[in-house]
Structure formats: C-alpha cells, structure tokens
Amino acid sequence: MIVGVPTEVKDSELRVGMTPVGVRELRDRGHTVLVQAGAGVGSGFPDDDYRAAGARIAPSAETTWGEADLVVKVKEPVASEFPHLRGDLTLFAYLHLAAVPRLTRALLDAGTTAIAYETVQLPDRSLPLLAPMSEIAGRLSVQAGAHHLMAPSGGRGILPGGVPGTPRASVVVIGGGVAGTNAAEMAVGLGAHVTVIDTSLPRLRQLDERFAGRVDTRVSTRTAIAEAVAGADLVIGSVLIPGAAAPKLVTLDMVEGMRPGSVLVDIAVDQGGCFEGTRPTTYSDPTYRVHGSVYYAVANMPGAVPLTSTLALTNATLPFTLALAEGADAALDRDAALRAGLSTANGEVVDPRITP
C-alpha cells in the first residue's frame, strides 16, 4: 500500500503524522511511504531523516494525497485540502466531525473512508489515540493559563502558587479524565489551590487517592460549577463526550460573575467547547475577552510542542496504521477498537453521533 504523510496546514500546526521510525516500520513490511517535502521539519525531522528511513519525498500536497491509498495526518483537513479527498482514499487523523459539519459533508461528497483517532476505543472504553494528546493539552492548559494570568497578558496578575503571606491562585478543572488529571497535576505542582469537578463519584475517589487530598473534588452539578467558577482565577474545561459535541457547562452568566482578569482555557474546543462563548483561536491570536475574563481556546494546543507531540502520537497510532496498511477493510473487520473510529465510508455517516 502507498501511505501518504502530508504537511499540516492549520495555523501554527508543526506536528507531522508520522516519525521516521514509523516510516521504517512500514517500509520493512513492504509498503511505500510518501512524505511531503518539509512535513517533519517543524517537529525536528528533516527530509533526510525520512529518506534514510526509506520514504520517498513528495514535492507537493497534490502528489502526496493523490498517490496515497492511506493518508495519515494529525489534524482534520481544512477547506484547502477538501479537493484532495476521494472515494478510494482512507484518511486516518483527528477529525472532530461533531464540531465541523462542513468537513463531514466534504467527506460524504467524496466518499472517503475516514477513521477518527479520537473515537478509536478499546474494550475498557479508553481512547488510546486521544490519550497522548489529552495528556499534553492538559499540561499545556495550565502553562497557558498561568501565562495569561500575568498582568501584561491581560490577566489579574496572580502567581499560581503565590509566596508566603499571599494567596494562591484558585484553579478549577472541569472534567477529571486524562486531560483534566494532567491539568490538575500541573496546577498542584505550581502550588495552586485546585478543585476538580466530575460527574463520576468513583473517578473523584480515584483522584482523591491519587492526589492524597491535595485537590478538592466536587460532583458536577450546575450549582457546584457556578460556585467554583465564581471564586476561580483559572478555569480549565476538559469535558469529553467521545465523538459528540461538548456540553456548555460554564454559562455566560457564570463568566460575568468571575473576577476581572480571570482566565478560562477550553481544552474541549475541538468538540465545540464546554464554555458558552467559546470560539476556536490560534497560536497567532490565542485569546479574546468575554465580559472581564480572558478566553483561551487554541484548537491545536499540542501543536506548540511538536517534537513531544509527534513522538507521542506515532507511539500510539503506529500499530493501527500498520494494520490499515495491510488493507483497511480487513483491519476494520478484525479490530473492534479501530472500527469504533470509523466515521464515514462510501458516502455515508457510520458513527451515529455525527450529524451529516
């Protein structure tokens, strides 16, 4: 099979869909790998590294997409990439179709077989291809939040851990999954006062044990969220419903009651966001104000650390990519986890959570 790895084109997206190690694994199994010229440079992988691993360097996106049977990338195709979609192509990437109906329509019109990283699901309900980026996004969310809490960045000028004789920042994490847990770890490490809110009491028990009482835990209700947000300096939204749009848990009324200069970081922006008023931003213009607060809603947060992100992503995706390269239909038939990621095929929506 011919596997294509195009250059990512979203704003400030420096990740690449495969490392040279991944290329070598595919080549060792007899597959051809096309890597678009310069695709890995932002992640620290020059073209020569891919050549040494056995890849053919393609001069353009048109060649990479056009010759490939299977395209492996990071982010969902944007409008400029829609013309590359076609009926005999399998696409393996983050798609987040619930939040991007225009892309859903493009995939259906082209008849592309599209498999979403974020909905590949193991029998224990874990999401192995979303987890590494959730870990990174969770950690970055607190770094970004701390930066934007500084007065020159528009925040209220509070240090997360304070110093003796001053208050610590109050950090509220909504959602105690992979991203939320990593956000809590970073916030605790900075010395902040941390509250985690989740719908699952068993999960809250796990977090209480994990953090040995260093975080407060609350069951998610509208009242609990409103009370916690009202006193927060930094709110991290890390709510996930696999394959579906995120619920709006923080309302504009809640935001209006927050302290001026407080910061809200919406990790769930790829799925539409869990704060009312969220709209996707980019690293070139990451924030905007809602009432007196700062919203940070960069839709490709892990793209800021492309070396770490690309290595972590390929570690997770490579076994599935190797299976797909042997034949997508057979791989989907054999592997229920991979089949759970199937979003569109033959001009039809396969995942019932997606609205055409």
Residues designated catalytic: 96, 270
In angstroms, the CA 100 to CA 118 distance is 14
Place of tokens 């927060």: 232
Q: Name the CA radius of gyration of the chain, rounded.
A: 21
In angstroms, the CA 144 to CA 154 distance is 12
In angstroms, the CA 227 to CA 344 distance is 41
In angstroms, the CA 124 to CA 355 distance is 26
Q: First CA to last CA across the chain, in angstroms?
A: 30
Sort strands 234-237 and 263-266 into parallel, antiparallel or unpaired: parallel
Place of tokens 């835990």: 217
Residues 6+ apart with CB under 8 A from 329: none
In angstroms, the CA 306 to CA 314 distance is 12
